[in-house]
Chains A and B, each alone.
Chain A
């Protein structure tokens, strides 16, 4: 923490003009309690030791940084490195935050854990951690998402979680978050809300970022050990934005390192069937924070579309809104079709099946890398593996079993 920017959010939970805590009065004391408990755990060496030990022994950290030589050679430009979050326990970066917050809930003496999930990756991570820590777990999931991510629903149930279908609104992630907040308002005395991305009211964007920053910290050390220098580009997909902020944040003060966040352009930005909040959105307030949002001219939140369920969200973490406003990061968008191209490219060149979310980042990297010299180093956050997406992806590219 060397400059002021690294110390954001400020005391009110703001990153520049973004963030805050726009929630009903009932929840304010709970948010303050959470902030206090989190601050205590930062200096609690037992807590930190337990977290680091479980990161190693349970999650499988540090995850490898893999030089993708075949992919780089095929593209014929910059050197591409993959941060292998897909190799963690449960197969996505979501587990880093679920573990950290699970331990925090335990520290606070909470016995009932609630969470929202879109694709089910966060839900599975929370159910996993709750099973291991012996906590009751309820996961809210939109009815439409339950249909398209049935394997994750089964996993959560196997792990002992109760999956509650959400039938309101668009029946996807945004509505699952609404329903989880309603549960929290009703059961705040014994319940911990384990939020899965860098969204929501303060202190969540800060807590989730800090637990995910292990990605960027490891990357920094690994690139240094291999190349004795910093990388030139960090590239990650952005839905709510937790895997991206986890990679970017530890490099904030390294001004030579460029950040690129890749949003979901769905069926195209002009189609209105997308989820590119930073590129096509307008500042507003949703789920407790001020940030860029996809909304109509009357301030009603729009339904979104992406082939990658984890990107299918009309908002984005407030810190990303700040990064775009100050020009620290660049945000681009990649369509469903392009993401599928990225998906196939990584399968065929490296023998790695990525999740559809980071497939967006792979596609964009392939385009960018072509025009760069080999000395340039690009790190992609390979935030999750593709098992959950096989059906959607194979159907979309017309492959039969």
Chain B
């Protein structure tokens, strides 16, 4: 069982946090990762910034842009991952778009990620049809390739992802891009149940989740909750990170 899969156990709800590496700077990334790990996050997604993040809303777009301005590269992200891996027990996942991975060399990237202590990959613009090569290589390096499903996914695609996703399945809560939302769609529970009928993997829901109430609602049907944009907003609003810490603790409490 992978380190990611071992997080999930009966009657426990996982909290997964996304941060953009290098936003607002490298030292904050290292500090925030520790805060997340020490306050109840079970898995940390490290976002490798990309110039054209078409699945992301304004918050992560801006964070990516700022990170790139700081000169963040995939190589630096690998180095950050290694430092965090040595310091923290929390499993680490890279989330990025396909071009930086393809440009690095798919084999070289997976090997470097595995060496740096990364446990899995999430590539939002790499659907099943395009992932055959990457999937074979991730398996060789014991990396979980985590697929996404959306409310628009057909039954056939749900079955295909259920057959291939490793670690967990990332359920996109709504038809849209990332970013904090006031409300989650009423169809969410039905969507999770639809996937549950076909999948053995843990199901984690992300996109739009920004309050403990939303997290609690999601946790009633899913195995984990993913937050990202709201964390970035809190980093921006309060550089001391105490708001971020309080928010993460409140999420953890909502999930207990």
**Are A182 and B54 in contact (CB-based, < 8 A)?**
yes
Per a CB cutoff under 8 Å, which of B75, B129, B149 touches A20? Answer: B129
As a 0/1 sequence over residues 185 to 216 of chain A, the CB contacts with chain B under 8 angstroms (1 = contact) are 11111000000000000000000000000000
**A287 CA / B177 CA spacing, docked (Å):** 15
Q: A23-B125, A24-B150, A288-B125 are in contact. Are A298 and B73 (CB under 8 A)?
A: yes
Q: A28-B127, A182-B177, A285-B99 are in contact. Are A300 and B51 (CB under 8 A)?
A: yes
Separation in Å of the B99 CB from the closest CB of chain A?
5
**A300 CA / B51 CA spacing, docked (Å):** 5
As a 0/1 sequence over residues 167 to 179 of chain A, the CB contacts with chain B under 8 angstroms (1 = contact) are 0110000110010
**Are B148 and A299 in contact (CB-based, < 8 A)?**
no
**Are B102 and A186 in contact (CB-based, < 8 A)?**
no
**Are A26 and B152 in contact (CB-based, < 8 A)?**
yes
Residues in chain A near residue B147, CB distance under 8 A: 25
**A189 CA / B185 CA spacing, docked (Å):** 14
Residues in chain B near residue A189, CB distance under 8 A: 175
**A20 CA / B55 CA spacing, docked (Å):** 17
Identify which of B50, B57, B103 gathers the most chain A CB atoms within 10 Å of its CB: B103
Residues in chain A near residue B124, CB distance under 8 A: 24-25
Per a CB cutoff under 8 Å, which of B52, B61, B127 touches A24? Answer: B127
**A203 CA / B148 CA spacing, docked (Å):** 22
Residues in chain B near residue A28, CB distance under 8 A: 127, 129, 152-153, 157
**Are B51 and A301 in contact (CB-based, < 8 A)?**
yes
As a 0/1 sequence over residues 46 to 62 of chain B, the CB contacts with chain A under 8 angstroms (1 = contact) are 00001111110110010
| Residue A58 is within 8 A (CB to CB) of chain B in the complex | no
Per a CB cutoff under 8 Å, which of A26, A169, A185 touches B52? Answer: A169
**A339 CA / B58 CA spacing, docked (Å):** 37
Per a CB cutoff under 8 Å, which of A12, A187, A298 touches B103? Answer: A298
**Are B176 and A299 in contact (CB-based, < 8 A)?**
no
Identify which of A24, A284, A290, A295 gathers the most chain B CB atoms within 10 Å of its CB: A24
Give the contacts of B78-132 with A (CB-CB under 8 A).
97-104, 124-127, 129-130
| Residue B68 is within 8 A (CB to CB) of chain A in the complex | yes
**Are A24 and B148 in contact (CB-based, < 8 A)?**
yes
**Are B129 and A185 in contact (CB-based, < 8 A)?**
no
Residues in chain A near residue B177, CB distance under 8 A: 182, 185-186
A-side interface residues, number (CB < 8 Å):
39
Q: A174-B52, A178-B54, A186-B177 are in contact. Are A30 and B68 (CB under 8 A)?
A: no
Give the contacts of A299-326 with B (CB-CB under 8 A).
299-301
**Are B99 and A301 in contact (CB-based, < 8 A)?**
yes
**A185 CA / B124 CA spacing, docked (Å):** 12
* Chain A interface, >50% SS class: mixed
Residues in chain B near residue A20, CB distance under 8 A: 129-130
| Residue A84 is within 8 A (CB to CB) of chain B in the complex | no
| Residue B65 is within 8 A (CB to CB) of chain A in the complex | yes
| Residue A245 is within 8 A (CB to CB) of chain B in the complex | no
Residues in chain A near residue B103, CB distance under 8 A: 282, 284, 295, 297-299
| Residue B74 is within 8 A (CB to CB) of chain A in the complex | yes
Give the contacts of B13-54 with A (CB-CB under 8 A).
50-54
Residues in chain B near residue A181, CB distance under 8 A: 54
- For residue B71, which residue of chain A has the nearest CB? A298
| Residue B154 is within 8 A (CB to CB) of chain A in the complex | yes
**Are A299 and B100 in contact (CB-based, < 8 A)?**
yes
**Are A26 and B172 in contact (CB-based, < 8 A)?**
yes
As a 0/1 sequence over residues 127 to 170 of chain B, the CB contacts with chain A under 8 angstroms (1 = contact) are 10110000000000000000111111110010000000000000
| Residue A286 is within 8 A (CB to CB) of chain B in the complex | yes
**Are A24 and B125 in contact (CB-based, < 8 A)?**
yes
**Are A21 and B175 in contact (CB-based, < 8 A)?**
no
Per a CB cutoff under 8 Å, which of B73, B104, B148, B157 touches A29? Answer: B157
**Are B65 and A169 in contact (CB-based, < 8 A)?**
yes
Residues in chain A near residue B175, CB distance under 8 A: 26, 185-189
Give the contacts of A12-71 with B (CB-CB under 8 A).
12, 20-30
**Are B55 and A185 in contact (CB-based, < 8 A)?**
yes
Residues in chain B near residue A293, CB distance under 8 A: 99
Q: A25-B153, A185-B176, A298-B73 are in contact. Are A168 and B61 (CB under 8 A)?
A: yes
**Are B157 and A178 in contact (CB-based, < 8 A)?**
no
Q: A168-B61, A286-B99, A300-B50 are in contact. Are A25 and B157 (CB under 8 A)?
A: yes
Residues in chain A near residue B152, CB distance under 8 A: 25-30, 188
* 13 A-B pairs whose Cβ atoms sit less than 8 Å apart in the complex: A12-B129, A21-B130, A24-B54, A24-B55, A25-B127, A169-B52, A283-B102, A284-B102, A286-B52, A286-B99, A295-B103, A299-B103, A301-B52
- Chain A interface residues toward B at CB < 8 A: 12, 20-30, 168-169, 174-175, 178, 181-182, 185-189, 282-288, 290, 293, 295, 297-301
Q: A28-B127, A301-B51, A301-B52 are in contact. List 10 more A-B contacts (CB 8 A).
A: A12-B129, A21-B130, A22-B127, A174-B52, A283-B102, A284-B103, A285-B99, A290-B102, A298-B74, A299-B74
Instruction: Sort A-B residue pairs by CB-CB distance and give the 7 closest, nearest first.
Output: A299-B103, A26-B150, A299-B100, A186-B176, A300-B51, A298-B73, A301-B51
